Amino acid sequence: MVTAGSATAAGVSPAPLIELRDIRKSYGGKTEGPDGKPLPAVDVLRGVSLSIGAGEFVAIVGASGSGKSTLMHILGCLDHPSAGHYLFAGQDIADFNADELAWLRREAFGFVFQGYHLIATESARENVEVPAIYSGVPVAEREKRAAALLTRLGLGDRLDHRPSQLSGGQQQRVSISRALMNGGHILLADEPTGALDSRSGAEVMLLLEELAEAGHTVILITHDREVAARAHRTIEIRDGQIIADSTGGPVSSGRASLDASTFLASMADGAAHTASWTADTHEALRAAWRVLWINRFRTLLTLLGIIIGVASVIVMLAIGAGTEHQVIEKMASFGTNRMYVIPGGDNPRGPGGTLSEADADLVRQMPNVTASMPFLQGNVTVRYSNIDVQVPVWAVTEEASRVLNWKTSRGIFFTGTDEQDLATVILLGKRVREKLFGNTNPVSHYVLVNNVPFQVIGELEEKGATSGDSDDDNVVLMPFSTGSRRILGTTNLSWISVLVDRLDLADQTAQQIADTLEGNHHIRDFEVFNRAASVKAQTETQSTLTLMLGMIAAISLLVGGIGVMNIMLMTVRERTREIGIRIATGARQRDILRQFLTEATLVSGIGGVLGVVFGLLVGASLMAWSVPAIFSVRAILGAFTCALLTGLIFGFMPARKAARLDPVIALASE
Ligand code: ADP
Ligand code: MG
């Protein structure tokens, strides 16, 4: 293979590896300074033209401030020229998209900076691996290669040291290893010895010479003529212009490592190539975990915000649901899940209408109906020894205990058998018992009901205390069959008492009952009273309360999210230089975006899990204090998902900010 330099001399003229044509770079002019006035334009590069062939060892020398670093940033595709053309292997890089430029940075170039620019949180080996991560090299392979490079450069025993645990010369050797990680075809070294003592500096120079000898194209920037003299070609720059170029210096005796056009031909594949999704995610998680762990106190504070947010959502929703349930239960105990079917239509001139036991049986078959009880009301005279009382009698079935939510305080309720046998048994309300029996136990005594002897089988517990109506205790209960046939002499019901299961379906059930009975009677000679409707209004109020609790909780979750945004913005600011390093070593915008989004998601994910655990613990201890609470899987999953989403949403803006950082500015930040 011929090198570009000698080829040009021979007149064959394949494109040189790098060609700059009248490159200009100016700062200011358009952008505004801190005082609001436009900054004066500074022309840093004023028409630089040069060409560099594969395998050359070039030194660019010039005084401080002459524009060397600016030139190198342009050469390394870290910065755009203001004017002029930059041809890489004959192709204008102005035509390359961001991914293709990232590919050039990681596959073609290897940067060595004066200030080393290593990622402080990663070990020597991990730093060296960075360019390979972005080109999708499998973990095992890149670890092996990084270790081999570091060992070759004499750092075999320092693989796991952090940059801060290494000397300047060692750090610079790490950065040279990193430059070589993906091949390092073109090494761009900006004052690589500038920060080193003379011995370490000499070592680094020796290394660069060796690499040039081995076929790497080396572009060395220095203000030191002695150092520059070690290169085979010297380009001198002053005030942004080339004033001398010793073109024609010897090209490396080794073979140039790069056939430029073949290399460029692989760009289409390489730019698109990434590691597998899982490898990328794994890498992002690893890096994110590292950073969060190193800043663990700050992470903890952010976590706390999310934990409290998630936990309060869970606890508040649980308490909301718990009290709602409690209210419904309480109302059910007042009989609000009851309905009544009452004979007679709403038209006063219409037919009177009657309801029979058969109608009650019909209603019992309907869906959502759990009890349907014929109810016959009348008045009787009850006598015991020489005391007579006039009291209302309720002829009901054995379902009454459940339908009326009424238990006995003494004795037992009548049964289905009593109902079938027309048994002459009676239950006394509390006030009736007081009138007839005083404070003695009435159970198993006989009383006369309209002169028919009945055995008292029980006394009802006080109802007035819960219903607020003490007349409710001034009644007697007997089996429906006995009451209708033996005492009251009618089977026309006063009403049917209906119990429904689900209150939310009460309206439908009421409608179905009405339709069915109307179908049977061929006339609407009854009315259905739906007390459940009032319960519904009550539960709706309660739901509003739950909603408000939920909103308070959501706000605290939002505050947690803002915490994530805050930590992420700080992280991005703090790690601007790291971002610059990653971009300089070939990270695409999406790699940076993924890295920061992963951090945000990891914080909020961990916060979410801990929040769920904390919320359950708090809820459980509240329940131990008999605060009503009902946990729902939906609320828990919802709170967790919200936490994750707030992390993602609030992490996105800082992450995007990081991904869009200008690499040169990012690198310059401290
Ligand atoms: P060298 O590396 O040769 O010392 P540089 O390329 O770093 O020089 O800088 C050349 C000139 O460009 C300097 O005068 C510097 O002040 C100016 N310069 C560099 N970067 C910027 C910038 N971002 N904005 C304005 N001026 C800049
Ligand atoms: Mg410089």
164 pocket-lining for ligand 1 (C-beta < 6 Å): no
Q: Could you tell me if residue 126 is inside a domain?
A: no
pLDDT tens per residue, range 40-86 = 788 899 999 999 988 899 999 999 899 999 999 999 999 999 999 99
Quote the Cα angle for 111-112-113, to 5°.
115
Domain that holds residue 244: 17-108+184-275
The residues pairing with 222 across neighbouring beta strands, listed in sequence order, are 61
665 pocket-lining for ligand 1 (C-beta < 6 Å): no
Ligand of minimum distance to the alpha carbon of 68: 1
pLDDT tens per residue, range 562-581 = 877 888 788 888 888 888 99
Grouping H, G, I as helix, E, B as strand and the rest as coil, residue 439 is coil
Q: Could you tell me if residue 172 is inside a domain?
A: no
Tell me which residue has tokens 């205390």. 465
Buried b (16+ CB within 10 A) or exposed e, 416-453: eebbeeebbbbbbbbbbbebbbeeeebbeeebebeeee
| Joined tokens for residue 567 | 């930590």
What pLDDT score does 520 carry?
86
Q: 88-97, 305-314, 540-549: which range is least confident on average? A: 540-549
64 pocket-lining for ligand 1 (C-beta < 6 Å): yes
Examine the domain organization and report whether 547 and 504 are in the same domain: no
What pLDDT score does 349 carry?
56
Examine the domain organization and report whether 611 and 518 are in the same domain: no
Q: Could you tell me if residue 502 is inside a domain?
A: yes
pLDDT tens per residue, range 358-401 = 899 999 999 989 999 999 999 999 999 889 999 999 999 988 88
pTM of the complete model: 0.68
| Joined tokens for residue 535 | 């319960």
| Nearest protein Cα to ligand 1, atom 17 | 44
240 pocket-lining for ligand 1 (C-beta < 6 Å): no
Beta carbons of 401 and 413 less than 8 angstroms apart: yes
Length reported for the chain: 670
CA distances from 656 to 130, 456, 511, 592, 648 (A): 20, 83, 58, 8, 12
Q: Could you tell me if residue 608 is inside a domain?
A: yes
66 pocket-lining for ligand 1 (C-beta < 6 Å): yes
Beta carbons of 52 and 252 less than 8 angstroms apart: no
Examine the domain organization and report whether 480 and 378 are in the same domain: yes
68 pocket-lining for ligand 1 (C-beta < 6 Å): yes
Beta carbons of 290 and 122 less than 8 angstroms apart: yes
- Whether residue 226 has pLDDT greater than 90: no
Q: Could you tell me if residue 498 is inside a domain?
A: yes
CA 233 – CA 248 distance, rounded (Å): 7
Beta carbons of 72 and 240 less than 8 angstroms apart: no
CA of 134 to the centre of ligand 2 (A): 27
Examine the domain organization and report whether 663 and 590 are in the same domain: yes
Counting atoms of ligand 1 from 1, which one is nearest the CA of 64? 4
Ligand of minimum distance to the alpha carbon of 61: 1
62 pocket-lining for ligand 1 (C-beta < 6 Å): yes
CA 57 – CA 187 distance, rounded (Å): 9
Ligand of minimum distance to the alpha carbon of 191: 2
What pLDDT score does 309 carry?
85
CA 128 – CA 122 distance, rounded (Å): 10
222 pocket-lining for ligand 1 (C-beta < 6 Å): no
| Nearest protein Cα to ligand 1, atom 12 | 44
User: How many domains, the chain?
Assistant: 3
Examine the domain organization and report whether 346 and 226 are in the same domain: no
| Residue from 581, 572, 591 nearest 664 by CA | 581
| Nearest protein Cα to ligand 1, atom 10 | 67
Beta carbons of 429 and 460 less than 8 angstroms apart: yes
Counting atoms of ligand 1 from 1, which one is nearest the CA of 665? 23
Examine the domain organization and report whether 42 and 78 are in the same domain: yes
Examine the domain organization and report whether 343 and 366 are in the same domain: yes
Ligand of minimum distance to the alpha carbon of 64: 1
CA 507 – CA 453 distance, rounded (Å): 44
29 pocket-lining for ligand 1 (C-beta < 6 Å): no
Q: Which CATH number goes with the domain that contains 35?
A: 3.40.50.300
Examine the domain organization and report whether 361 and 427 are in the same domain: yes
Quote the Cα angle for 643-647-649, to 5°.
115
217 pocket-lining for ligand 1 (C-beta < 6 Å): no
